[in-house]
Chain A
């Protein structure tokens, strides 16, 4: 009988101890303090050139008058969703006078050729997003997907002036200068 009473007492004490331990395990939390985060990834499209000058030593009436150097255009972009393409363009402001001697003698853009990344050499005779009518060439068109919204590409341009067309075989000796522009555009 006495043993039974002691046993019951022990069980009760054990239960009380267990309940107390449960109570002490209960966590006390502070209030939640929010921090508002705002991160801006700005849209950008940049194009840089490995060099900014090309010289040509012309041979009258020759189809092959290569430039003194290739130029690499590096186009880098970070675009917003919705953009579907990046185009890289080469163009002159005036198709009729891509290069001129300043005395009325001109080399038209149709006689100026670019080979992009080893491709065929192509005259600048198209109307593109920039420059004068019929004074341009699209060098590259990159489709934008979820995988390349932030990316880059390089275009290695080799240049040539073809002096065989039209009246160009009669082009007088002179120094002809001009400005070729390279520019990229993301659309839409």
Chain B
């Protein structure tokens, strides 16, 4: 190989190195500063109770233990709860145990003679003190244990009603009205 050709090869290598270095300089990215966006998503806890209907009628027979309501009512409870909730309870209650229903003239049907059968269970009088309503005027219809797999859920409670007039044999004829309230509580 001549001196001239050796110089040519050397020049070619130098040129190649320059080209590679130049290409490396072009691949270096330019970044801006990071701009943060604060995100907050709130999933509120909630409980709702809806009723299939809001009225029940009774045709009473004096002194009879069996005076069924005209219809059953389904309470649908839907919930979305925080992890620290242990139980979801559904209650039925009156504001006063002494006068669950009244004729407005001093004659009353107490809550002790008003009975609910929940989901086909035994008829039970409203004689307990619950978180809502008057003393001795309530009944816990159901209690649902909240676990990791049912923090969001729903349940139905089918209520049948009865008024027991056996303890009230002298109740005068009349129209007796009242308000039964259904409410749920998570705790």
Q: What residues make up the interface of A, taking CB atoms closer than 8 Å to B?
A: 23-25, 27-44, 78-81, 146-151
Contacts and interface: CB of A to CB of B under 8 A. Distances in A.
Which secondary structure dominates where chain B touches chain A? strand
B45 A149 contact: no
A81 B174 contact: yes
Contact of A28 (B45, B114, B171, B174): B45
A29 to B, nearest CB: 5
Contacts of A30: 47-49, 77, 183-185
A41 B50 CA distance: 30
Contacts of A32: 132, 181-183
A28 B83 CA distance: 13
Contacts of B84: 23-24
A13 to B, nearest CB: 18
A45 to B, nearest CB: 10
Contacts of A23: 84
A149 B171 contact: yes
Contacts of A34: 54, 179-181
Interface residues of B, number: 56
Interface of B: 45-51, 54-63, 67, 73, 75, 77, 81-82, 84-85, 100-101, 103, 105, 107, 109, 114, 131-132, 161, 163, 165, 169-187
A27 B187 contact: yes
B180 to A, nearest CB: 4
Given A29-B183, A35-B56, 16 more contacts: A24-B85, A27-B185, A33-B50, A35-B180, A37-B177, A39-B58, A39-B178, A40-B176, A41-B173, A41-B174, A43-B173, A78-B62, A146-B170, A150-B169, A150-B172, A150-B173
A32 B77 CA distance: 12
A44 B185 CA distance: 44
Nearest to A37: B178
A80 B172 contact: yes
A37 B73 CA distance: 12
A39 B172 contact: no
Nearest to B92: A35
27 contacts: A28-B45, A28-B46, A28-B187, A29-B184, A30-B184, A33-B49, A33-B75, A35-B51, A35-B56, A35-B181, A37-B56, A37-B58, A37-B101, A37-B161, A37-B177, A38-B58, A38-B175, A38-B176, A38-B177, A39-B176, A40-B174, A44-B173, A78-B171, A79-B172, A81-B174, A149-B170, A150-B170
